[in-house]
Amino acid sequence: MVGAERESITQRAFTGGLPADAFIDATLADIHRRYLGLDDGEVADYIPILAEADPSRFGLSLIESAGAVHEIGDADLEFSIQSISKAFVFALVCQARSTELVHERVGVNNTGLPFNSVMAIELNDGKPLNSMVNAGAIATTALMPGATSAEKWENIRSGLSRFAGRQLRLDGRVYQSEMEANQRNKALARLLESYGRIITDPLDTVDVYTRQCSLLVTAHDLAVMGATLADGGINPLTRSRVVSAEVARDTLALLASCGMYENSGEWLFEIGLPAKSGVSGGIVAIAPGKGALGTYSPRLDSAGNSVRGQRACFHISRALGMNLFASNAVERPWKG
């Protein structure tokens, strides 16, 4: 986002709550209309089945911490969650084991390198650096409680379903397609094993990781899952606690620095929200205490982030006062 377009959208401050419902609905409708015609970017094809996605699809969902739902376009269209699962599996593992354990075994620093980088591991003595890149995500999945891979998988599926507030199901075709094309993830897992960073069977762990990436969600689901993190770990629609407020906070901190591949710094600078994207075209962006956005549009930029999704998040974040770093001066009547 540069120049005139960047400044053409009025920046509302984060201070205070979200605007009135009618304003939010009108803003989403305007943004959907505005970016529907944008056809920059390419649909991912390194997992063969992802290339079948219809590039015209575009859905936006905003769910407030208090439970209000605002949606437009293809907000109920299912797609595989892919890398966005990493954020929620991180939270589940921190909750079930401990944040310290994940911090020590995996790390919480940005790699500055592509999501499937082997070099990042080699440069850091086998430490995968964070749970949002593939190596770190595989190491995090390995830490999920469960005596067998089947138990770990069930814990992940049910945990992500609690975040979404509905039973999420696996897309068997996506899983098969990815299993036939994920030699690199298998190599990453073997490399982690060689460094003693995972002690479970590496190929079984990649199998569970691939399943978690093949769960089907909608933009609406992503917004509910994100709004759970925005609401101190309580799902705003089911009102049940999924993770503690501390885990929700730690997850958001990690997403702020590592959620958007190599463009995480640029994203934070422009949009000012912790977020996670995935190669199938989804983005979840979270405004703590306010709510979350879920977007779906499958055309990606070179870093792997949805082109329309990023534009929409930029615009919504500005127009609705979701950028964490945008403040208004407080009234100081007591200062005379």
Q: Which amino acid is at 288?
A: P
Query: Distance between CA atoms of 179 and 174, rounded to whole angstroms?
Result: 8
Closest to ligand GLU by CB, 83 vs 205, is 83
Q: Is 128 in the site for ligand GLU (CB under 6 A)?
A: no
Among 27, 61, 65, 82, binds ligand GLU (CB under 6 A): 82
Q: Choose, from 65, 85, 86, 93, the residue flagged as catalytic.
A: 86
Closest to ligand GLU by CB, 64 vs 178, is 178
Strands annotated E in the chain: 42-43, 59-64, 69-73, 79-80, 216-217, 275-277, 282-287, 291-296, 299-300
Q: Which residue is nearest to ligand GLU (CB)?
A: 83
Instruction: Write down the residue that tokens 């993190």 correspond to.
Output: 229
CB-CB contact of 304 with 44 (8 Å): yes
**Residue 173: how many other CB atoms lie within 10 Å:** 12
Crossing angle of helices 219-230 and 84-96, in 10° steps, is 40
Q: Which amino acid is at 34?
A: R
**Nearest Cα residue to 267 out of 289, 285, 253, 290:** 285
Q: Choose, from 61, 65, 80, 83, the residue flagged as catalytic.
A: 83
Q: Choose, from 243, 279, 284, 307, the residue flagged as catalytic.
A: 279
Whether 83 is catalytic:
yes
Judged by CB under 6 A, the number of residues near ligand GLU is 11
Whether 261 is catalytic:
yes
Q: Which amino acid is at 130?
A: N
Query: Distance between CA atoms of 262 and 115, rounded to whole angstroms?
Result: 8
Whether 86 is catalytic:
yes
- Token pair, residue 33, equals 């209309």
Among 226, 259, 274, 278, binds ligand GLU (CB under 6 A): 278
Closest to ligand GLU by CB, 82 vs 111, is 82
Residues 88-127, mask of contacts with ligand GLU (x by CB under 6 A): ---------------------------xx-----------
Least distance in angstroms from the C-beta of 211 to ligand GLU: 10
Among 61, 95, 134, 149, binds ligand GLU (CB under 6 A): 134
Closest to ligand GLU by CB, 41 vs 278, is 278
CB-CB contact of 218 with 294 (8 Å): yes
Q: Which amino acid is at 143?
A: L
Query: Distance between CA atoms of 174 and 198, rounded to whole angstroms?
Result: 25
Instruction: Write down the residue that tokens 């921190």 correspond to.
Output: 94
Q: Is 141 in the site for ligand GLU (CB under 6 A)?
A: no
**Nearest Cα residue to 286 out of 264, 317, 265:** 317
Q: Choose, from 65, 106, 117, 209, the residue flagged as catalytic.
A: 209
Residues 22-61, mask of contacts with ligand GLU (x by CB under 6 A): ----------------------------------------
Closest to ligand GLU by CB, 35 vs 115, is 115
Least distance in angstroms from the C-beta of 185 to ligand GLU: 5
- Contacts to ligand GLU by CB under 6 A: 82-83, 115-116, 134, 178, 185, 213, 278-279, 304
Q: Could you list the active site residues?
A: 83, 86, 209, 261, 279
